[in-house]
Chains A and B, each alone.
Chain A
């Protein structure tokens, strides 16, 4: 045993609160320590993931209380994949923002504290096996998200943050209502225990709890009626935080929603609901994206659209569908941060942050422009980059399940995506530069972070086999509900014997 899953929550939380103390010793520690911590957790996550693939799921009991009474953390091939992905993205974002706030010391302290909290919350959501504990982690994640959104004082960031806060806290109250409903009916908070007893619940209470869960979790997963916060938050938050939202927070939200629908209850029709809500999200988001004139709002709507596609793929419900959804999640978690990171350097010195101001920057910021174009090609799904294989697997999964409507929709949406992404790329390379815009050359660590992402996207594009076996394993784990219940509750049986 190289370490225990509880370290993923304990270490970043502890470090976040110790950062002000480190600052007294040496101010540079404020920037260095978070990176070391995230790198350590990434190495731990990779090694634990390897161990889990060989020896099976690790169930960690907190404070010796066996499930279903105590809180447990589950490190399975599915959750391990997501936590590794999130920590990797956190490391990239740390590397990118290492010199980002070089001017002032005080903001960088707060920035790294909140970033570590955001990572703690997201990984906690993925690893925990207890619904109330998940609620607490969602609150940790979203409160640090509110803080990070309002980071810049000059912009309209407080307005975006307040909007996010109102929607976020109303929806978290619905989540708490769902938890109350389940507890009053089943008397348990453990996910595996709920899943094994769910048939005892009255169907009307089950549907009501499911509706509350969707209202509560949909806000982080950016599903259709609940995603009004996303474009404002993505456009007002600092660039790397936009990347953190699209690469880490949204993935945690999708995970929580999928865990509820796949594991907690098997309500008939919930998969069809996922397909329908995903398609509505996809269509509306892509239609909105094409109308945007601010680059980050466009990226935000594109992000919402991709999440809709992920939900559609999860809604197919077969092994192939889940595999496609996970592939899409991984590939989106790599590509969209690349677009946000390079895009926020492209609009660094412009006032409006609009697409017009990108005119002709290709000659002046060659590397950043190239990386943005690469990300654009990858996300619309042109071969040979990772986005192509993700969309291809969605199409094959839909074809094998006979969902022709989904195939038509995905192809039509790809055309819309090509239109609005290539409009931007066209402006970057083939338009004349505006006089007022001053190009900003990225710092060396930011260049390095973006190049790493680009290399991985190209590598997955040429050798998709690099990750497919892991994704197959993860989708197998998600679909095997009986095994999940047994893995967790068998620990309890060992204790009582």
Chain B
């Protein structure tokens, strides 16, 4: 039993570590790369990392989908304690709702960024950020 529990917590830590790793990769891409397209890709990766982290904090070991219906109670009486006990076995729904919103926002930002990249390319005929500096950085 202990062995199984250890494995599950390892998976959970794995999610955390990989989410932070993805965030780091995204930050690297957005801040260090010189190509406009790679910067946009970096931003996308950064967003995915944050979304993964957001989903991970909602994780409950062996949790079910957070949909409550009276049928779940089976023969138990409808008391506050029973409902709470059922809720403890469910995944937290709030971060999932937040992630949906964050994904949509990320989509919008990426679309605007790519539109700007197209305009920059038409204006300067290059995607290298060092060659686009009419404005002082």
A-side interface residues toward B, CB under 8 Å? 132, 136, 139, 143, 146-147, 150, 153, 156, 158-163, 165-166, 169-170, 173, 176-177, 179-180, 183-184, 189, 228, 232, 235-236
Contact = CB atoms under 8 A, between A and B. Distances in A.
* Residue among A163, A169, A179 with max Cβ neighbours from chain B (10 Å): A169
A170 B30 contact: yes
B41 interface: no
B27 A170 contact: yes
A158 B30 contact: no
Interface residues of B, number: 34
A146 B47 contact: no
Contacts of A173: 23, 46-47, 50
B50 A165 contact: no
Contact of B95 (A162, A183, A236): A183
Contact of A166 (B23, B39, B47, B95): B39
A146 B116 CA distance: 9
B21 interface: no
B116 to A, nearest CB: 5
Contact of A180 (B53, B134, B136): B53
Contacts of A177: 23, 50, 53
A49 B17 CA distance: 48
A236 B46 contact: no
Nearest to B30: A170
B102 A150 contact: no
Nearest to A175: B50
B83 interface: no
B57 A159 contact: no
B117 interface: yes
20 contacts: A136-B105, A147-B112, A150-B116, A158-B119, A159-B132, A159-B135, A162-B117, A162-B120, A163-B135, A165-B116, A166-B30, A169-B109, A170-B46, A173-B47, A176-B50, A180-B54, A180-B57, A183-B94, A184-B57, A232-B136
B4 to A, nearest CB: 24
A170 B137 CA distance: 17
B108 A143 contact: yes
A236 B119 CA distance: 15
B36 A162 contact: yes
Contacts of A179: 98
Contact of B123 (A147, A158, A160): A158
B43 interface: yes
Given A162-B116, A163-B135, A163-B137, 16 more contacts: A150-B116, A159-B135, A162-B120, A165-B113, A166-B30, A166-B39, A169-B47, A173-B23, A176-B50, A176-B102, A177-B53, A180-B57, A180-B95, A183-B98, A189-B94, A232-B136
Interface string B27-38: 100110000100
Query: SS class of chain A's interface: helix, strand, loop or mixed?
Result: helix
B135 A183 contact: no
B88 to A, nearest CB: 13
A62 B26 CA distance: 35
Contacts of A176: 50, 54, 102
B101 interface: yes
10 interchain residue pairs of minimum CB distance: A158-B119, A184-B57, A156-B134, A162-B116, A232-B135, A139-B105, A169-B109, A158-B120, A176-B50, A158-B116
B43 A169 contact: yes
A461 to B, nearest CB: 36
Contacts of A183: 57, 94-95, 98
A176 to B, nearest CB: 5
A204 B27 CA distance: 23
B104 to A, nearest CB: 10
Interface in B114-137: 116-117, 119-120, 123, 132-137
Contacts of B119: 150, 153, 158
Nearest to B116: A162
A156 B119 CA distance: 10
B30 A136 contact: no
Interface in B80-107: 94-95, 98, 101-102, 105
B118 to A, nearest CB: 9
A170 B53 contact: no
Contacts of B105: 136, 139
B21 to A, nearest CB: 14
A40 to B, nearest CB: 28
A143 B109 contact: yes
A149 to B, nearest CB: 9
* Residue among B23, B54, B112, B113 with max Cβ neighbours from chain A (10 Å): B112
Given A170-B30, A232-B135, A236-B135, A165 B109 contact: yes
A161 B101 contact: no
A228 B136 CA distance: 10
Given A146-B116, A228-B137, A232-B135, A166 B102 contact: no
Contacts of B135: 156, 159-160, 163, 232, 235-236
Contact of A165 (B46, B53, B101, B112): B112
A132 B116 contact: no
A449 B84 CA distance: 59
Contacts of A143: 108-109, 112
B111 to A, nearest CB: 9
